[in-house]
Amino acid sequence: MRGLKKQRRIQVVTIAALALALSTALIGYALRDGINFFRPPVEVAANPPPPSEVFRIGGLVEEGSLVRGQGETITFAVTDGAASIPVSYTGVLPDLFSEGEGMVGTGRLIDGTFEASEILARHDETYMPAEVIEALRDQGVYRDPGES
């Protein structure tokens, strides 16, 4: 009788471990396309990702780089003070998007140009994404508004 209880416990623990491993694998598989890693321009310039990798890039829109092309295509450069990456975007930009302001884009690096599928800009006059602030601070470009 004792051996049967011990065997049953081992079976339950084994099944639970397999179920946990399977559910973890399924969650990872489901999220594989939804996870986009953030990279500052200096990291993209130093170690360009393959064209198949979707990632997020953020920094400041470089002054004098914003060019509105034919139709809805817009090109500009994003910088963190140490490197500058050209960006191409087809679509309507957010209202508060402008030169010298922070932005985050999602897309792929193709032939040295970041082809964005989505552009995010600040949602009010004082907001900047935390990832962009951290990348700019690492390059010595960003200062908190409260600093003098």
| Model pLDDT for residues 12-23, shown as the tens digit of each residue | 999 999 999 999
pLDDT of the residue at 31 = 76
pLDDT of the residue at 125 = 59
pLDDT mean by block of 10 residues, the chain; 148 residues: 83 95 89 74 89 88 84 87 90 82 89 90 65 74 57
| Residue reference for tokens 């780089």 | 65
Q: What are the structure tokens assigned to 92, written together?
A: 């309507």
pLDDT of the residue at 148 = 46
Q: Are 89 and 114 in contact (CB under 8 A)?
A: no
Q: Which residues pair with 106 in a beta bridge?
A: 56, 118
pTM (2 d.p.): 0.64
pLDDT of the residue at 135 = 74
Picking from 119, 112, 118, the residue whose alpha carbon sits closest to that of residue 41 is 112
Q: What is the CATH number of domain 37-138?
A: 2.40.50.140
